[in-house]
Chain A
């Protein structure tokens, strides 16, 4: 009984994730650099944690982003870029800039979710500094509130070149 569970687990059945369309020149350049290895540092710039749940689930057995060589890192020094969620709040604008500067060159910034792209429902709120692109240069945007895990993986595969 236990062995059959182990065998089923060993085979693993992740969801099929569509391959990315050809992206912008910046994304294509990153894909050429990374060639199957992409490490990102996640920065929550003021998110409601909806996008965080979806990001956590892309590493689950269901979506399994690691099979495409995509990983989150604990240090921006180890990363190829940032994965930023949420509208940038006044308190997080400084830390976001500093984290961006801590990533070695060449670096890419991915804005995940509608809030990161255009502040979403928080646009104009008193605590919000602006979208991610107002604070650091953004190379890739992933729309959705929150984005579907498969859509996140497809976009990141474009960056990883897998």
Chain B
């Protein structure tokens, strides 16, 4: 282990990560929608459109369903807060022991899950048919994608002897060949499928649908208005940034800062932004070419991800 990092640099990294996730989330959604529009032959809204939407929503009236309790307004706050905690502790720009032992992959996964559960409870709290339907669907998908993610993480943590993200990153930087082993490649595919499912993108969920009966995430947030809706949208985009940045760190770690200092940090920032943007563009292009899966086919896709993750673990255990 390298000696611990100066406090100033750790604080700067955390601050940069929080700001980057807060602003980068909406901008990533804007970029992905721009790519989608262009591939469909449209100019589309400007990349900063999600930020304009958030600014306007923040000033609008906050409505609350007649029978909703305190859970309803709390859910968007929990969603954003858990994602912010991840943005503080996860090594998105720099990997070092300075992040302590809090940057554990299991902690990150369960913080993300806490946000999803809060949103599902908020949707149930509205008492509307679509809220309950969306919540039940989201929890079904969550219950299937979460084991796949956990087993994929297990596959990554077996060779590194740790589920701590910086340790895994540092190990893969020092053993570049490890990135091409079967367990990494299998875990990579499982991870990708789970990211698509967890962030509610095609082919699992269609974020731009207007048909309530096909909705999953959108059905849960139908009742939110004004600042609450702004928080839900912001939280959703921040989650995608965090997931993509973690994916980039775990599977393409080059460029991430491994030593304190402004120079290393600048390289890490540029590398992470570039990797997340590239992943977002690839995801958007993939979405244009995909149709949404029928809801009853989604478990098959997630079961496939789970099988791949299990194979990754087996491969990690038998071929050390």
Contacts and interface: CB of A to CB of B under 8 A. Distances in A.
Interface of A: 6, 9-10, 12, 14, 33-37, 39, 60-61, 64, 66-69, 71-72, 74-75, 77-78, 80, 102, 104-106
Given A67-B45, A74-B222, A77-B222, A61 B56 contact: no
Given A9-B40, A35-B55, A105-B61, A77 B45 contact: no
Interface stretch (B173-181, B223-231, B242-250): B223-231
Contacts of A68: 45
B49 A77 contact: no
Contacts of A61: 40-42
A45 to B, nearest CB: 18
B59 interface: yes
19 contacts: A9-B41, A10-B38, A10-B39, A14-B42, A14-B43, A33-B59, A35-B52, A61-B40, A66-B45, A69-B45, A74-B210, A74-B212, A77-B223, A77-B229, A102-B63, A104-B61, A104-B62, A104-B63, A105-B61
Contacts of A33: 56, 59
B303 interface: no
A77 B63 contact: yes
A12 B56 contact: no
A60 B37 CA distance: 10
B43 A77 contact: no
B5 to A, nearest CB: 41
A36 B226 CA distance: 16
Interface string B244-270: 000000000000000000000000000
Contact of B44 (A9, A66, A74): A66
B49 A37 contact: yes
